Structure 1
Amino acid sequence: MGQFISITAADGHTFSAYVAGSPEAPHALVVVQEIFGVNHNMRAVADAWAADGFSVIVPALFDRVEPDAKLGYTPEDVQKGLALRADIPLESTLADLEACARHLREQAPERKVGIIGFCWGGRLAWDGATRTTAFSAAVGWYGGGIAAHKDATPHCAVQLHFGGQDGSIPPSDVSDIRKTHPEIEIYVYDEAGHGFGNRDRPSFNADAEHLARERSLTFLEAGLRTVGDIPERG
Structure 2
Amino acid sequence: MGRDIVVATPSGPVNAWRADPPHGAAAQGAIVVLQEIFGVNAHIRSVADGYAAAGYVAIAPALFDPVARNVELTYEAADFERGRALAAELGFDRAVGIVRATRDLLHGEGHRQIGVVGFCWGGSLAFLANTRLGLPAVSYYGARTVPFLDEPLQAPMLFHFGADDASIPETDIAAHRTRQPDAEVHVHAGGHAFNRDVDPTHYHPDSAAEARRQTMKFLAAALR
Please give the range of the TM-score, normalised by the shorter of the 2 chains. Answer: over 0.9
Once residues 45 and 104 of structure 2 are traced to their aligned partners in structure 1, the CA distance between those partners, rounded to angstroms, is 21
1:155-182 residue CA offsets vs partner (Å, 9 max, x unmatched): 1010000001000001100101101122
Q: Supply the distance in 1 between the matched residues of 2:211 and 2:141 (Cα, whole angstroms).
A: 11
Identical amino acids, percent of aligned pairs? 36
- TM-score normalised per structure 1: 0.91
Quote how far apart the aligned CAs of 1:130 are.
0.9
Pair 1:192 & 2:190 matched: yes
TM-superposed CA distance for 1:108, in Å, is 1.7
What is aligned with 2:202? 203
DSSP 3-state at the match of 1:139 = strand
> Which AA in structure 2 matches 1:74?
E
Match of 2:5 in 1: 5
Please give the residue correspondences for 1:1-234 in structure 2 after superposition, counting only pairs within 5 Å: 1-9=1-9, 11=10, 13-22=12-21, 25-109=27-111, 111-133=112-134, 135=135, 137-189=136-188, 191-201=189-199, 202-225=201-224
Structure 1 residue runs without a partner (length 5+)? 226-234
Q: TM-score, normalised by structure 2?
A: 0.95
Residue range with higher mean Cα deviation, 207-216 or 88-97: 88-97
Structure 2 CA distance for partners of 1:79 and 1:12, relative to 1, 3 Å: closer
* Superposed CA offset, 1:188-220 (max 9, x none): 01x310000001122000000000011001101
**Counterpart secondary structure, 1:122:** helix
Letter in 2 for 1:151: D
RMSD, matched Cα: 1.2
The whole-number CA distance in structure 1 between the counterparts of 2:213 and 2:11 is 37
Aligned length: 220
- Cα 1:12–1:148 change in 2 (3 A) is closer
Amino acid across the alignment from 1:161: H
Q: CA deviation at 1:222?
A: 0.8
- Equivalents in 1 of 2:212, 2:118: separation in Å? 12
1:24 touches 1:108 (CA, 8 Å); kept in 2? Answer: no
Whether the 8 Å contact between 1:140 and 1:159 is mirrored in structure 2 is: yes
Which ranges of 4 or more aligned residues in structure 1 deviate by more than 2 Å?
none
Please name the residue that 1:230 is paired with.
none
**In structure 1, C-alpha distance between the alignment counterparts of 2:92 and 2:124, rounded to whole Å:** 11
C-alpha offsets along residues 12-58 of structure 1, whole Å, 9 cap, x if unaligned?
A: 51110100014951210000000000000000000001000000000
Residue 231 of structure 1 corresponds to: none
Aligned residues of 1:3 and 1:19 also touching (Cα < 8 A): yes
The letter of the residue matching 1:38 is V
Q: Is the 8 A contact 2:30 2:106 kept in 1?
A: yes
CA distance in 2, matches of 1:168, 1:179: 19
SS of residue in 2 equivalent to 1:156: coil
Counterparts of 2:32 and 2:196 in 1: how far apart (Å)?
A: 17
* Per-residue deviation, 1:122: 0.4
Q: CA deviation at 1:89?
A: 2.5
